[in-house]
Amino acid sequence: MNNLPLGFAYSATYAGIRNVEKDDLALIVTGMAASAAGVFTQNRVQAAPVRLSRRSLERSHGAASAILINAGNANCATRTGDAVALETAKQAARHLRMPATEVLVASTGVIGVELDPAKITSALPRLVEGLSPARFDDVSRAILTTDLRPKTASTQVKLRRGPVHVAGMTKGSGMIHPQMATTLGFVMTDARISAAPLRAILKRGVERSYNRLSVDGDTSTNDTLLLLANGASGIKPEGAELRKVEEAAAAVMEELAKAIARDGEGATKLITIEIDGAASDDAAVRIARAIANSPLVKTAVAGSDPNWGRIICAAGNAGVPFQPSKTDIYLQGVAVCERGLAAPFSEKELTGKLNAPECEIRVKFRGKGRGKARFWTCDFTEGYIRINASYRT
Amino acid sequence: MNNLPLGFAYSATYAGIRNVEKDDLALIVTGMAASAAGVFTQNRVQAAPVRLSRRSLERSHGAASAILINAGNANCATRTGDAVALETAKQAARHLRMPATEVLVASTGVIGVELDPAKITSALPRLVEGLSPARFDDVSRAILTTDLRPKTASTQVKLRRGPVHVAGMTKGSGMIHPQMATTLGFVMTDARISAAPLRAILKRGVERSYNRLSVDGDTSTNDTLLLLANGASGIKPEGAELRKVEEAAAAVMEELAKAIARDGEGATKLITIEIDGAASDDAAVRIARAIANSPLVKTAVAGSDPNWGRIICAAGNAGVPFQPSKTDIYLQGVAVCERGLAAPFSEKELTGKLNAPECEIRVKFRGKGRGKARFWTCDFTEGYIRINASYRT
C-alpha cells in the first residue's frame, strides 16, 4: 500500500470468533492521540460497539488513539453486548496504556449470537505485539465477511510544507444501504486537523460516497465509518490547503464506496448511476436511489438487457415529481430513451457493451433543473441468493 | 368457479401481442351498466390505459360496462400509447354498442414497445362473439404474464332478500409493490351499489389487501384494480347488509393479494408478516413493509434459516421508533427473539417447520401500543433472478 499516513500501526490475528481460521480481530493504533470523527448506522437497532464508540467520541470530544475491530460476530441484540464491547475496549486500552475512551470498537458478522469476550481479551497480547506500520493490508483482510476482495484506497496531497497522506479500508458486502455511514470503514490521515473540522470533513465526504451506495437496500445494525487524523506529518493544513485534504479524504471514501458496490454479494458488475437536471440535488439522489434499489433494474443489468422501461419505472417510484416526456436515458453512453420514448439503438451492439464489468446508467431530465447525483450499486445475480440463503446456517 | 356474480360475461383470445401463442386479450362485460370504482398505480410514470381508465371513470361518474385487457405489452412509454388505448376502447364500445367511456382498459407486459392497435381491433369481433358467463377462468388465464398460476377468488353473501356474489381475478408476479393498487385486478359483484359507496369499499379493501403486499418492492406503471357492481342480483344492500358485502369484497381482494404473493416470481413460500403492539397501525404497516422488502429476510426464509437478526435489523430500517428491548419475534409460532435477545429454541426443529410452503413472521412489541398490521410477501430465490435477467430478451 502506497501513501500510508505516518504514525499509524496495524495488527490482525485469528481469535476464533469466526468458524473458518482466518484473521477476525484487528487493531489500528496511532502513537499520538488523534482527532477522530465517526458516523454510524441510522438503524433503530444499533449494535453495542456502535453505542460505545459513539459515546466514547462524545466523552473524549473527538479524540481517539485506537480502533479494535472484530469480524464474524456483530455483537448486536445479545444479552452481554454492551458489557463485551466495554470490557474488550478497556482491556485493549490497558495493553496500549491509553484511556479507555480512546479505544473505539467496531464489529461485523452475525446478529443475535453472544460474543465471548475471552476470545478477544486472550488474543489481545499477541494482537498488540504484532503491531506494525506495514500491516495495513492484514487489517483490511481481517475485517471482511462475505467480501471477496479487500477494499483499500489511499492518496497523497502535496501541501506547501510537504505531503500529507490519506488511506482507508472498508468492508461490504451485503446489508448495504447506508443512511449515514455504512458497514465498517476506517480512514486515516497524518494531517493535523482538530475534531470539529474533521467531523465536517467526514460528514460531507460520507454524503458523496457511502450515502450514495446500495447493494441490497438493507441498512445494517453495525455501520461505522471512522476518520482519524493524528498529525504525524507535522502539517496543519488550513484554508485552501485544508480543502485540498478534504477533497483527498472524500476521494478515498468514494473509492472505498465504489469498491463495496463492485464487490457486493454475488455482484458481477459495478453500476454507476448519474442523474442530471433534476429539480434539486436531493431529488436527484432520491431518483438515483430508487433505480439503485430496484431488483428489476439490477437483474436486467446482470442479464445485459438494455431494459430502459424498468429504469424509468423505478425512477417513477422515487416519490419525486418529474415529467416522463422530458426524460432521456443512456446506457453505456448510448441513448435508449428520449423524451420518455424508445430511442433507436442497436440492441445487439448495446447488449455487447453491457457485458462489460462496469455499467453506467445516466438519466437526464430536459429543462431548467440543476439537481445532480452520482450513485453506486451492483447487479443482482443468483450468487446473492445463494450466499444469503445459506450464510448463517 | 363457484359464486360467479350474475349478469357478467367473459371472453379471451390470442391476438398475437405476446410471442407465445397463449390468450393475451380479454374482455369482461356486463349487460346492464354497472357502478365502477378503480384504484391505480402511484408511479409517476403511468401507462396510457391507466390514464384513460382514470379519465373515463371521472367522465362517467363511476359507471362502466366493460373492461378490455391485454397482456404482453404494457402500452407504456410509447409514442402511440394514448391513441392506442383510446382507439381500442372506442372500437370495443362500437362492437358492444355502449359509450366509449364505459369501456375501461388495462394492459400488462413489457414497457417501451409500441403496441399495434390492429392486433386488438382485428381480434375484437371474435372476442365479442366468444362472450359467455362461463368463461371467467379463461380471462383469469389470459391476463397472466410470468405468473405460474391463475389467481381467482369468490364468495357469496346471504342477505335478507337473497344471495349476492363477489368474484375477482388478478395477476402478479414481479414489479409488485402496490402503493395504491397493484398489477391488474378485477372484482365483480351482482349487488346493486352506487358509485360513491363502491369507491369507499374499494379503497378500504385495497388498504388491507393489495396495499399490504410486496414481491420485490417495485411499483409497476400499470397497476389497476377495478371493482364493478352491476346490480344483477336485484338486491341493493344497505346498512349492516352493505357492510357484509363490503367484508366479502375485502375478503376476495385479500385472497387475491395472497395469491399474488404466493406466486411471486421465483417464489417457493408465502410469507405472512404480523405486527402487534406498534405505536399506531401506520407504524405497524411501515415496519411490516420494511421486513417484507428486505432481501436478506426473504433469502433467509428461502433457505429455511431462522435468522431473526435480519428481521429485527429490517424492522430497525422502517424509520419508525421502537425499543429493541421490548421486541419479541416468532417464526412459525416459535419464539426466536424475546426482548430483543435470542430466545431458546431448537434450530433443527424450527428449520424443519420453515420448510413448509407458508411462513409466518410475527413481531410483537411489549407495551401499550395497539398498532397492528398484516402484510404478505414471498421468499426470494434464484428463480427470481433467472426470470428477470432474461425476461425481455
- Count CA atoms within 13 Å of residue B344 on its CB side: 0
Q: Hey, which residues 57-76 in chain A have their CB within 8 Å of chain B?
A: 74, 76
Domain A270-390: which CATH number of 3.20.20.70, 3.40.50.150, 3.10.20.340, 3.40.50.720:
3.10.20.340
Residue range B132-162, pLDDT digits in tens: 999 999 999 999 987 888 989 999 999 999 9
Chain A residues in contact with B76 by the CB 8 A cut-off are 309
Residue A225: the pLDDT is 87
Kindly state the average pLDDT of the residues B341-349: 92
B8-262 maps to which CATH number? 3.60.70.12
Residue A34: the pLDDT is 93
* CB of B269 closer than 8 Å to CB of B357: yes
Is residue A216 less than 8 Å (CB to CB) from chain B? yes
CA-to-CA separations, A142 to A24, A25, A176, B95, B372, in angstroms, rounded: 5, 6, 19, 72, 43
Is residue B156 less than 8 Å (CB to CB) from chain A? no
Q: Give the pLDDT band (50/70/90) at residue B391.
A: low
CB-nearest to A314 from B112, B218, B390 is B218
Q: Give the pLDDT band (50/70/90) at residue B179.
A: very low
A307 vs B112: CA distance, rounded Å: 9
Report the 3 state secondary structure along chain A: CCCCCCCEEEEEECCCCCCCCCCCEEEEEEEEEEEEEEEECCCCCCCHHHHHHHHHHHHCCCEEEEEEEEEEECCCCCCCHHHHHHHHHHHHHHHHCCCHHHEEEEEEEECCCCCCHHHHHHHHHHHHHCCECCCHHHHHHHCCCCCCCCEEEEEEEEECCEEEEEEEEEECCCCCCCCCCCCEEEEEECCCCCHHHHHHHHHHHHHCCHHHECCCCCCCCCCEEEEEECCCCCCCCCCHHHHHHHHHHHHHHHHHHHHHHHCCCCCCCEEEEEEEEECCHHHHHHHHHHHHCCHHHHHHHHCCCCCHHHHHHHHHCCCCCCCHHHEEEEECCEEEEECCEECCCCHHHHHHHHCCCEEEEEEEECCCCCEEEEEEEECCCHHHHHHHHHCCC
Residue B120: the pLDDT is 98
Test B389 with A44 for CB contact under 8 angstroms: no
Cβ neighbours for A286, distance < 8 A, ≥ 6 positions apart: A318, A319, A320
* CB of B248 closer than 8 Å to CB of B296: no
Residue B389: the pLDDT is 77
Q: Give the pLDDT band (50/70/90) at residue A182.
A: very low
A49 vs A60: CA distance, rounded Å: 16
* CB of B181 closer than 8 Å to CB of B219: no
Long-range contacts of B244-249 (CB under 8 A, 24+ apart): B244/B157, B244/B159, B245/B157, B245/B159, B245/B164, B245/B166, B245/B189, B245/B191, B245/B193, B245/B201, B246/B201, B246/B204, B246/B205, B248/B155, B248/B156, B248/B157, B248/B166, B249/B166, B249/B187, B249/B189, B249/B201, B249/B202, B249/B205
CB-nearest to B45 from A217, A313, A386 is A313
Test B342 with A381 for CB contact under 8 angstroms: no
Residue B31: the pLDDT is 81
C-alpha cell at B259: 395469491
Is residue B324 less than 8 Å (CB to CB) from chain A? yes
Residue B392: the pLDDT is 54
**Lowest mean per-residue pLDDT among A46-55, A295-304, B170-179:** B170-179
Q: Hey, which residues 71-110 in chain B have their CB within 8 Å of chain A?
A: 74, 76-79, 110
Q: What is the mean pLDDT of chain B?
A: 91
CB-nearest to A221 from B45, B316, B341 is B316
Test A221 with B313 for CB contact under 8 angstroms: yes
Using alpha carbons, select from A232, A245, A270, A300 the residue that is nearest to residue A374: A270
Residue range A338-364, pLDDT digits in tens: 999 999 999 999 999 999 999 999 999
* CB of B206 closer than 8 Å to CB of B226: no
Chain A residues in contact with B388 by the CB 8 A cut-off are 295-296, 299-300, 303
Q: Is A182 a catalytic residue?
A: yes
Q: Give the pLDDT band (50/70/90) at residue B231.
A: very high
| Res. B181: pLDDT tops 50 | no
A108 vs A111: CA distance, rounded Å: 9
Q: Give the pLDDT band (50/70/90) at residue A110.
A: confident
Residue B182: the pLDDT is 42
B158 vs B379: CA distance, rounded Å: 37
**Lowest mean per-residue pLDDT among A170-184, A309-323, B164-178, B324-338:** A170-184
Q: Hey, which residues 326-345 in chain B have their CB within 8 Å of chain A?
A: 337, 340-342
Q: Give the pLDDT band (50/70/90) at residue B272.
A: very high
User: DSSP string covering B127-170, please?
Assistant: HHHT-BTTTHHHHHHHT-SS-SS-EEEEEEEEETTEEEEEEEEE
B349 vs B334: CA distance, rounded Å: 10
Test A295 with B384 for CB contact under 8 angstroms: yes
Is residue A239 less than 8 Å (CB to CB) from chain B? no
Amino acid at A280: S
Q: Give the pLDDT band (50/70/90) at residue A185.
A: confident
Number of A to B CB contacts under 8 A, please give it.
204
From the candidates A88, A121, A145, A182, give the one annotated as an active-site residue.
Answer: A182
Our CA-based measurement puts residue A265 at a distance from the nearest CA of chain B, in whole angstroms, of: 11
Residues of chain A with CATH 3.10.20.340: 270-390
Is residue B221 less than 8 Å (CB to CB) from chain A? yes
Q: Residue A323's CB: how many other CB atoms inside 10 A?
A: 13
Residue B264 burial by CB count (10 A; 0-12/13-18/19+): exposed, middle or buried? buried
Among A286, A310, A338, pick the best mutation site for testing chain B contact (most B Cβ within 10 A): A310
The strands making up B358-365's β-sheet, listed across from edge to edge, are B341-342, B334-338, B327-331, B358-365, B270-278, B371-378
Is residue B155 less than 8 Å (CB to CB) from chain A? no
Q: Give the pLDDT band (50/70/90) at residue B196.
A: very high
Residues of chain B with CATH 3.60.70.12: 8-262
Q: Give the pLDDT band (50/70/90) at residue B384.
A: confident
Q: Give the pLDDT band (50/70/90) at residue A273.
A: very high
